[in-house]
Structures are given as C-alpha cells and as structure tokens.
Amino acid sequence: MRITLEPISSKDYEGNVVFLYGNEVSDRNLPLSKKEIEWLKVRRSADSYSVVVFDRLPYHLFVVNFDADSPAVDNQEKLRRSADKVVSMLKDMKQDSVGITGEGTIPEEVVAFLEGMMLSDYSFDRYKNETPSHIEHVAVDPIYLKQEELERNERLWNRIYWCREWVNMPVADLNAESFAAELEEIARDLNVKCTVFDKKKIEALRMGGLLGVNKGSVDEPRFVVLEYCPDNAINSRPIALVGKGVMYDTGGLNIKPDDYMREMKSDMAGAATMASVLFAAADNQLPVHLVALLPMTDNRPGFNAYAADDVLTMYDGTTVEVVNTDAEGRLILADAIAYAVRNYEPELLIDAATLTGAAVRAIGTYGIAAMQQNADNPFHLLKIMGNQVYERIAELPFWREYDELIKSDVADIKNCGISQAGAITAGKFLAHFAKTTPYIHLDIAGVAFFSKKQEYYTCGASGYGIRLLYSFLQTYEVTKGEHQPTVS
C-alpha cells in the first residue's frame, strides 16, 4: 500500500473518498444532498460508528461515522475497525485506491484509520499463484499529517508486515539457520550489531535448554543477539527483549494430539516480535538502548530427542527436571534470559512467547497474559500504552506460593507445574533465571496467530505486541521521572 499526502476536496476529488465524520462540525463540508444528509443522520443515530456508502459512479463516498466526544482510545480503536470494513468494501467493489479527508478530525484519528487499513489489507500471498487484491494507493489530506510523521508510521507498519510474514512462513522455508541469516542481513542495513551463535558456540556456552530441545531435530539451533545502542540513549544499561524462537513445535516425544500441531509454525512469534520491535526502534532512531536475545530451534521427536525425566543443566548452572517435552519454549528462553542477565545486566528484561494454552484459557484471544517481578513502574506504563494502542495486557498474580509448584525432587526446578495456573508457573519458571532483574513476562499465545479473521488483524499472524512495545519504548523515559502516569 502506497500512501501519499495530497490536498483532497470531498466535493470534487476524482476518486473514492473516505470522509471521517466525528460530529456536526463536519456537516458544512459533507458533499451530500439534503436528502442524503437526512439519511446519514438516521444511520448515525442508529449506529454512531456505522460506515455509510454513497454512489458517486464510477467512484464511491464512504462516510465513516464516529463520536468525537467519546474517549480518544475508544474512538481510535473504532476507527481501526471501520478501516477494516472500508478495505473489505473497496475490494468487493474491485477498487484499489481511496482518498481520506474529513472536517474537525484530529491527526491521531486519521493515523488510527490509516493503521487499520494497513493492518487489514495484509494477507500471506507468497505461495499463491493468483495474488489476492490489495489497496494500491491511499491519499491523505496533508492538513492531518506531515511527511516525516507519515514515514515514521510507515516504518513501524513495515516491521509489523515482516513479522507477520516470518510467523506465517512454514518451517520448511524458514528454519533457525535461515531466520538467523535474514535477521543478520536486516541488522547490517540498519547498522544494528548482530551476533549469531551456531551450535558449536551454543555448546561452548553450555546452554542446556536450547541444546536439549534441539536434540530431536536435523536442523541446528541458533542464538541471535541484536543490539541497538544510539548515542543519545536515555538508559545507560539496556532493556533486554527476549523472544521465543521455536520454529516448529511438534511437542517432541510428548507429541501434540489431534490437530494441536496445526499452526505450530507460529511458535517463533516471540522471536519475530522482539526482532521487529528492535528494528522498528532502530528504523525510527528511538533514544533507547536495546538488546534482543533470540534462541531458535524446532522441537522434534527424532534422533536422540530429549525425554521426560531428563535433567538439563542450563546456562546459569540451574538443573531442570523435564516433566513434559511440550514445555520446551521456557527451556530455550531460560538460557537466553540467564545470558542477558550475566552479560548485559539489563535495567529491565521483557520476554514475549507463545508459551501456554493456559493463557488462552484464562483471558481468551483479546489480549496478552502478563506477569511481572520487581518491575512495578515499567509494567504500569506498559499497561497504559496497551490500553492506548488497544493491544492490552491482563496481569496475572505472581505470588511466591506459585514457586512451590515448580520445585523438583531430583533437580533445582522442573519445567512444568500442575495443571492449574499453567501460565503463571511457566512465568515463574522464567522468573527464576531473571533473578533480581526487573522482569516482565508476556504470554502472547492467544494473540500472535488467529485461526480466523479477528477485526483488522485478519487470519494468520497478527504482529500483536509490536505496537504495544514500540509505544512503550517511545514513552519509556517517564519511568525514570518522579511523576508516574495514571491508568485511564
């Protein structure tokens, strides 16, 4: 989708037009007859967020209703969802271009609508002989947006696009080795430091979790470390972003039953998300020192696959009893977290992982199940930004009693607790390796990949969490001040 800035008059623009209609201030600029306005008012009174279409053959006028007096967060999310409707309508009409204008509309509302269009127009096309239709060109009135602001948003949206591409790719075409090579190439273009550890180096580091999970696979593991350190960074010690990179998860010897193995190409969404966040920060030169640590392997039942009852020794020396080989993500994350703590001493550590079905059962597919340890202020900010961009987080308790559920009789800890509180005990397992470092755990299992279309996220990989973490990094400086933001 190509976006340009050009003056748009809703009354004489040669093309399809979206008119954002927030309140009666817009009436004076509506290119409608008296009867059409009356009809629009009827529709608006019945549904203040309706999309009303008027024929202007060979083009169409889309009046996107919203309530300008409602809270900004609600309005912006409704506009993203309305954008999804408009994109569907344009495709049904076999139209591939549109102009966007309004009256009394603020820039944040226009950006939200554009964002909804960008996200909803995505589809995974690379294996299709006939490419589905897409919106080719969107023109936006420059009274709402400067070129620099548009380009910053486009760079962020581009990172979301590539995250979705990676997560949608089958493991046959994107394994640990090829994903690491692709990240290395992008890092080089962005002047981001990239270190790729191959199997021999991982063995030298004694990363027992990553090596253990990899034992059943013909493909070698990789451990990728990306570092973005701008000269004007507001943090002297980095924020560590750790992402789960299980390129495909069969469950190992505890093989997944029925159709639970479908869509397991998406089990590396955490790594794709964290790489994308760091690249977006580098793209837009955010003044934040970041390091992303991405352990990568698939989980297979072949060769000398690791088994339940095995005891693994992790990077930091912790011994782990394997209870279930399908709880593999936490094992590779544990090595990466321990490596981050020892080698970077981060001031904050955040992980993202498609970690547990328990998280989905707890809160569904409407947000991220999150936990924190020693990170009250950053977590508070993250929750606020989640509400603002509508990638919300739900905090689960992290009481010390849950530590008892992962104690082992034969090792320091075990990789699974009881059937209850599964999302929490998984987080507790990881928190062990974070030690005293301020730590936030994001279980994105319910939102990283959708089996069916969910609003503007469409079907498949969503990129959910990138806008959340990017907006958090944009505002991270407030966590260092005396005055903390309040949740709206």
Ordered structural domains, the chain, with CATH:
2-143 (3.40.220.10), 155-480 (3.40.630.10)
For residue 96, count CB atoms less than 10 angstroms from its CB and return exposed for 0-12, middle for 13-18, buried for 19 or more.
Answer: middle
| ∠ CA 134-140-145, rounded to 5° | 125
Q: Each residue's pLDDT tens digit in the chain (488 positions)?
A: 999 999 988 788 889 999 999 988 777 788 898 899 999 999 999 999 999 999 988 999 999 999 999 999 999 999 999 999 999 999 999 999 999 998 888 999 999 999 999 999 999 999 999 988 999 999 999 999 999 999 999 999 999 999 999 999 999 999 999 999 999 999 999 999 999 999 999 999 999 999 999 999 999 999 999 999 999 999 999 999 999 999 999 999 999 998 888 899 999 999 999 999 999 999 999 999 999 999 999 999 999 999 999 999 999 999 999 999 999 999 999 999 999 999 999 999 999 999 999 999 999 999 999 999 999 999 999 999 999 999 999 999 999 999 999 999 999 999 999 989 999 999 999 999 999 999 999 999 999 999 999 999 999 999 999 999 999 999 998 876 544 444 43
Query: Quick one: which of 229, 91, 269, 472 has its CA closest to 83?
Result: 91
Report residue 208 as tokens.
């027992």
pLDDT score recorded for residue 481: 56
pLDDT score recorded for residue 138: 97
Q: Helices marked H in 121-206 — which ranges?
A: 147-168, 176-190, 199-205
Q: Which residues contact 342 (CB under 8 A, 6 or more apart)?
A: 315, 316
CB atoms within 10 A of CB 417: 23
Catalytic residue set = 256, 330
pLDDT score recorded for residue 174: 98
